[in-house]
Structure 1
């Protein structure tokens, strides 16, 4: 049976259930059965190859994409970007778990690789997550369905996004941050994020040095507010440079600039301290960008230590796990704004995830690094007035522009 015919023959309610009707696997009820039946209907479809496609962007950024290929010519994309890395040796171990297997056996892959992926090594977690992404792209293409439809159906046709201007801001002065905040706002962006406290000295350094760094960071935020105007939402990522007292002090100094959130002033694994900061300040708190698995987010959500969690599909365990994290957050009244300072592939993956997520807030994207970013995928990635459209095509709805990728390999 052709896969599209197979899909059409299934009962509608078993394929597209209500989005909130999740099983413990993080999938809508019926989707797991769909994958099992699709695998049985396509017994000869097997994964045969993996290709790693690094795209060098700037001195700080490499987009590390991968492509899985089947014996029938179907391909699935994932992204494993991790700083400047152009290789990820752990991908070979993860690929070994799916080589010769049906792409529909996603839960089998998760069970085979989970112990190693969840052991606390970010590189392993990223490799594991990237393969899982590519499996979903393959499944969607095999069935002729978007991944958001496999996750219960989209709740929205466009997603709100915020522009992370941090890596594009090479001038780390108030003037540099102000210029990029204003430029993003002129493009129609309504929300930006920056990390003006990057390079903060260790708190064991002389008090005058710490105070000077704090003053500079606050001045950068003040300049962004002045340049962007009152309507621009400003998010600040503190990258865990502070302790509890300094986190509270900085937050209070930033109150005149009306932040839309204050992100990770300390590591989010310090849940009690994070909650203490949240209770002491007026700003919305966000965090969790590098946490892995539902277990990694459990205490943050259960104790409501933050208002918004930020799972990253590249690092949290993949799409199924991101959905489980979102369901956990929803249970405790916490919103989800996926971390995504990434390339167009990860953004396309995250768009499909968020389209079917009830407690979605905003999606991050990396602004202003290179002019050719949007052309790296087909159809091209486009942001309009602070939003991105949910692709209609099968899988993640994109293909990689191989010619452009080779130009920047």
Structure 2
């Protein structure tokens, strides 16, 4: 097995990677970080390396790994680049390493698309559909009450979304008191009543409950016809997911915390979920997410990509999602961000009536505006989802 290729051989007209840089944009939601690769033929490629709390470490790692593995590389050697970074650097996954590898893989695909004059989806399986359905998350900022959730759910559906995800469980961890369980279910009931029967609702568990609580919740949630119950158990209890699935009438979803197919191995082997949720910006980029999706198809599972990052990740994931036969829906926070985010990420695809249309520009289709990044430096915020009032997303 080769961990390198002859870098003196003739290359494509994309040239060879000559420079690696990072940029970070501060927002109220989180700091969005990016890697930008340059080639000696004047092309650039961008990938997202956002980590919600360890952005500086991700940026530092991508520069260091770039010096070891990227400078002088042909961006078309995507498998070799992926293997050099993962195996040759003894990376072995994890959140920061997985994010860095994902961003670099996006960036080299961006360069390839630009060099060939085609959108990235033409390089990753083409299109199985004409558009990608999306659902809204993060829309429930505010008070944790049935009335507040209902009001905001109506507003979000009014913006054209036909699917919503939310966490009604407050600070619950392990178990829920009777009072907290009642309030959580009242919130779900209020949202269902507010949006009616034709809107898909997905309930987020944030991997927080012990088996007795999760088992009771799958029964309690049954009347509300939810599309899935996401991560009801910690992944340290992955062997119990299959047991919970046998008790649930709704699909169980999860997998956003895994960073490559090797970390997914036990999920597939144990049939832990009905719907996997790989994140293009965490699970190894285009090169790896295609393999993960193929394994899911082999196991009879659907794919609903996770995406709690910037509109760049949304647009980049659309390219991957177009070629997934078993795609269900894509997550997005895009409609809740400050207006300047769109200025910083020029070319991000818009959402219309809950869908995103086919990309047309070469590569991923987004260029970074450095001047906007300079105006909005990192904020290094943090919000603790196990502290009271986290739903307000107050990160001051």
TM-score by length of 1: 0.84
Residue 236 of structure 1: how far off its partner (Å): 0.9
C-alpha contact (below 8 Å) 2:204/2:229 kept by paired residues:
yes
C-alpha contact (below 8 Å) 2:21/2:63 kept by paired residues:
no
d(CA) in 1 for partners of 2:22 and 2:63? 10
Kindly indicate whether residue 244 of structure 2 is the aligned counterpart of residue 277 of structure 1.
yes
Residue 119 of structure 1: SS of its match in structure 2?
coil
Kindly indicate whether residue 56 of structure 2 is the aligned counterpart of residue 83 of structure 1.
no
CA displacement, residues 160-205 of structure 1 (integer Å, 9 cap, x when unaligned): 0011125x513233233222211110011000111222421454xx
C-alpha contact (below 8 Å) 1:241/1:266 kept by paired residues:
yes
Among 359, 378, 384, the alignment partner of 2:346 is 378
* Aligned residue number for residue 125 of structure 1: 98
My pick for the range that moved more, 330-339 or 90-99, is 90-99
* Aligned residue number for residue 376 of structure 2: 408
C-alpha contact (below 8 Å) 2:201/2:226 kept by paired residues:
yes
CA RMSD of the aligned region, Å?
2.2
TM-score by length of 2: 0.86
Kindly indicate whether residue 262 of structure 2 is the aligned counterpart of residue 295 of structure 1.
yes
**Greater RCO between the two (CA within 8 Å, min separation 6)?**
2
d(CA) in 2 for partners of 1:159 and 1:359? 12
Q: Which runs of 5+ in 2 are unaligned?
A: 1-5, 378-396
* Aligned residue number for residue 26 of structure 2: 56
Kindly indicate whether residue 42 of structure 2 is the aligned counterpart of residue 69 of structure 1.
no
C-alpha contact (below 8 Å) 1:374/1:381 kept by paired residues:
no
Q: 1:211 and 1:376, CA in 2 relative to 1: closer, same or farther beyond 3 A? A: farther
C-alpha contact (below 8 Å) 2:27/2:338 kept by paired residues:
no
Residue 70 of structure 2: SS of its match in structure 1?
coil
Residue 383 of structure 1: SS of its match in structure 2?
coil
Residue 348 of structure 1: how far off its partner (Å): 1.4
Among 281, 285, 297, the alignment partner of 1:314 is 281
CA displacement, residues 58-98 of structure 1 (integer Å, 9 cap, x when unaligned): 1x411112211112221111111111444222212321210
* Aligned residue number for residue 314 of structure 2: 347
d(CA) in 2 for partners of 1:401 and 1:154? 29
My pick for the range that moved more, 242-251 or 366-375, is 366-375
Q: Count how many residue pairs are aligned between Structure 1 and Structure 2.
A: 366
Residue 246 of structure 1: SS of its match in structure 2?
helix
Kindly indicate whether residue 304 of structure 2 is the aligned counterpart of residue 337 of structure 1.
yes
The correspondence of residues 216-295 of structure 1 with structure 2, limited to 5 A, is: 216-268=183-235, 270-295=237-262
My pick for the range that moved more, 42-51 or 258-267, is 42-51
Among 157, 168, 193, the alignment partner of 1:185 is 157
d(CA) in 2 for partners of 1:181 and 1:227? 7
* Aligned residue number for residue 73 of structure 2: 101
CA displacement, residues 236-257 of structure 1 (integer Å, 9 cap, x when unaligned): 1101111112101112111121
d(CA) in 1 for partners of 2:124 and 2:40? 26
d(CA) in 2 for partners of 1:65 and 1:316? 16
d(CA) in 1 for partners of 2:328 and 2:25? 29
CA displacement, residues 287-333 of structure 1 (integer Å, 9 cap, x when unaligned): 00011211222332344321110011111111111000000000111
* Aligned residue number for residue 23 of structure 1: none
C-alpha contact (below 8 Å) 1:291/1:297 kept by paired residues:
yes
* Aligned residue number for residue 200 of structure 1: 172
d(CA) in 2 for partners of 1:253 and 1:195? 15
Q: Which runs of 5+ in 1 are unaligned?
A: 1-35, 204-208
C-alpha contact (below 8 Å) 2:14/2:111 kept by paired residues:
no
My pick for the range that moved more, 319-328 or 60-69, is 60-69
Residue 217 of structure 1: SS of its match in structure 2?
helix
Kindly indicate whether residue 8 of structure 2 is the aligned counterpart of residue 42 of structure 1.
no
C-alpha contact (below 8 Å) 2:348/2:365 kept by paired residues:
no
* Aligned residue number for residue 385 of structure 2: none
d(CA) in 1 for partners of 2:249 and 2:174? 26
